[in-house]
Chain A
Amino acid sequence: MTTTQLKDPPISKRLAKNIKRNFVERVIEIILMFAALAATFITLGIVYILVTEASGFFKEVSIIEFLTSRQWSPLFEDAHYGILPLISGTLTTSFIALTIAIPIGTVAAIYLSEFASHKTRETVKPILELLVGVPTVVFGYFALLFVTPLLQKLNPDLPTFNMLGAGIVMGVMIIPYIASVAEDAMRAVPMNMREGSYAMGATKFQTAIRVVTPAATSGIIAAYILGISRAVGETMVVAIAAGQQPTFTFNPLEGAATITAYIVQVAMGDLPHGSLGYQSIFAAGMVLFVITFVFNILGHMARKRFAERY
């Protein structure tokens, strides 16, 4: 004890060193904090850009026309600015995609979580995760050159660009995502709930449907909501295969532009900065951002509620 005390420098020097050390620590913490703040700045940046560019648009176009007119033709001589056709296109393609992805994704999740052997699950789960990462432009190829020709054999009147083919492929694309997230939620239900159910003489199917699924509801709903958000925001599949003509229709056999497809279409052509057509993509983008934002927050809340329960 005494020897170490003799070796130590005088207390004032040790404190000086501490000051330097504390200062460095503090600086590092502040740098790291700014990195974390960047995430907030991105959201603020998105909102700022969308609002400023769209406000130029809304100076020329009344919000009432924007929300009620059934014609969207900002690039034509006879310009109309009603977002409804783009929304109908977005809703139709998303609806087709979800009617495919939600049932199949849910059944796949229940099977993987409750019925599949350990080996099957360990093989299929990584494959699902792998499929989630496939770029969407590739799925656009499938929709245009594989699924649509196939559908045209069944119905020769089907146009080359149609919402049905795009919606189906988008559904297939979202299945792995919904299955994977919903399966995670069901696996998180504690084992003793299943054991309790089995002990009462319930079969696997009864346990899965009446015990595990209700217990994991908010987690499964989070999977659905995130799936919806993905379908609504999906761009390349619809831009390639659903057509670029804004039409107010809910008929899947017709082609129609979605919000995202319209943005891509305008961005491909070189519109001058500050023109009304240029600003219109920000107005459309704002609608898209608001829709997906609401779904993301709902999904986040459902997920958090689920995580708190178990």
Chain B
Amino acid sequence: MMKKNSVSEESLIKPKTLEEVRAMIRSHKRNDFIFSSIGLLTITFALLTLLILFVDLVMDGYPKLNYQFFADFPSRRAANAGILSAWVGSSLIMLVTFITAVPMGVAAGVYLEEYAPKNWFTDIVEINVTNLAGVPSIIYGLLALGLFVYTFHLGQTIVTAGLTLGLLMLPIVIVSTREAIRSIPVAIREAAYAVGATKWQVVLHHVIQYSFGGILTGIIIGMARALGETAPIITVGALTFIAFLPPAPLTNVAPFISFEWLQSGFTVLPIQMFSWLSRPEHAFHINAAAAGAVIIMLTLVMNGTAIWLRYRIRKNIKW
């Protein structure tokens, strides 16, 4: 870098004829054009590659994508196999994940932004949150295997999987809650304090309400990530072949709500896809492609909603 600079300085100092100056400008403009073309080509190339991959997947899986695919249990015969137990399992686990990660994540975010004193303790918590967001998901799986399965004896069940994904989602919710809260001007808080509100009233009635859109964005992105996560669910012991549904959460005898499903074995969409993908027969690969198409659609819709929401918030709110 230093060398380049000194060379260009020399060439600037050296007296030049008009022709030389014109040639220099021409070559610089050419560089601009060349780089801008390279940049555009690179981006087009990268996006096109990904587009081809997605189209290939959807085309492969297209013949299987019908109502029957969603209503069938997995089967030894590829033609009869479906994703009923997988999507039911995914939905129930998402429910557990949502209930555990969202209240805790929002509470932690609120504490770190509004309450936490500036000291070494807060610093440690903060570094922790940043680090957790970068820990590979399979490590969460190992944590859950050692802690939930073998220390708390929760077994290889829906509640274990839900809690595992809840831990994974927690840092995402915390970070987005903090970012959303940080964008609210101090004047709003001061106005509330001025009319006699307590700190909690300020937080509950103003801070959380105004940052709701941003928090929601983080929750959706976190849920999408949890939905597509495979590795940690494998480590806590998802089964790849499940031909039954967990007990229904609603029953027709009192007290009408049953929590037995929490104790049930399970499979989820990405695991189902992975298990079909590990088989050598081509017919199962078609099933895998169909399951992949369903997963991609779900995550794209969720992430798309979140991103759209964020851009809308940025555009509409000018404090």
Contacts and interface: CB of A to CB of B under 8 A. Distances in A.
Contacts of A35: 103-105, 107-108, 111
Interface string A85-106: 0000000000000000000100
Given A39-B125, A289-B135, A49 B234 contact: no
A136 to B, nearest CB: 7
Contact of A28 (B31, B47, B200): B200
A42 B167 contact: yes
Interface in B35-54: 35-36, 38-40, 42-43, 45-47, 49-50, 53
A287 to B, nearest CB: 11
A288 B139 contact: yes
Contacts of A134: 228, 296, 299-300
A226 B129 CA distance: 15
B170 A285 contact: no
A205 B33 CA distance: 9
B273 to A, nearest CB: 6
B224 interface: yes
A46 B303 contact: no
Interface residues of B, number: 93
Interface string A278-289: 000110010011
B16 interface: no
Interface stretch (B69-77, B179-187, B244-252, B285-293): B285-293
A233 interface: yes
Contacts of A226: 134
Nearest to B144: A49
A31 B103 CA distance: 11
Contacts of B57: 138, 141-142
B65 interface: no
Contact of B142 (A49, A172, A208): A49
Nearest to B146: A49
Contact of A131 (B1, B50, B112, B288): B50
Contact of B143 (A49, A138, A205, A267): A49
Contacts of B36: 111, 115, 204-205
B303 A236 contact: no
A142 B53 contact: yes
B307 interface: yes
B111 A32 contact: yes
A29 interface: yes
Nearest to A46: B143
A214 B136 contact: no
A175 B115 CA distance: 38
Contacts of B132: 39, 42-43
A217 B185 CA distance: 30
A133 B289 contact: no
A136 B28 CA distance: 42
A140 B277 contact: yes
B82 interface: no
Contacts of B277: 137, 140-141, 144-145, 240
Interface in B248-283: 270, 273-274, 277-278
A29 B115 contact: yes
A172 B49 contact: yes
Interface string B111-134: 110011000000011011111101
Contacts of B125: 36-37, 39-40
B146 A25 contact: no
A33 B139 contact: no
Interface string B169-207: 011001000000000000000000000001110000000
A296 B131 contact: yes
Interface string B146-182: 1100100000000000000001001100100000000
Contacts of B211: none
Which one of B60, B111, B273 has the highest number of Cβ atoms from chain A below 10 Å of its Cβ? B111
B295 interface: yes
B38 A260 contact: no
Closest 8 CB pairs of A and B: A135-B228, A233-B136, A111-B39, A35-B107, A49-B146, A32-B111, A235-B231, A296-B134
25 contacts: A29-B115, A32-B110, A39-B129, A39-B132, A39-B171, A39-B174, A50-B142, A110-B39, A111-B35, A115-B39, A129-B307, A140-B277, A141-B273, A172-B46, A179-B46, A205-B28, A205-B36, A208-B35, A233-B136, A236-B270, A260-B138, A263-B235, A267-B234, A281-B235, A292-B135
Interface of A: 21, 24-25, 28-29, 31-33, 35-40, 42-43, 45-46, 49-50, 52-53, 104, 107-108, 110-112, 115-116, 124, 126-127, 129-131, 133-138, 140-142, 144-146, 172, 175-176, 179, 203-206, 208, 210, 214, 226, 229-230, 232-236, 239-240, 260, 263-264, 267-268, 270, 273, 281-282, 285, 288-289, 292-293, 295-297, 299-300
Given A115-B40, A288-B139, 11 more contacts: A43-B128, A134-B296, A141-B273, A141-B292, A144-B277, A203-B31, A210-B5, A226-B134, A270-B237, A289-B136, A296-B134
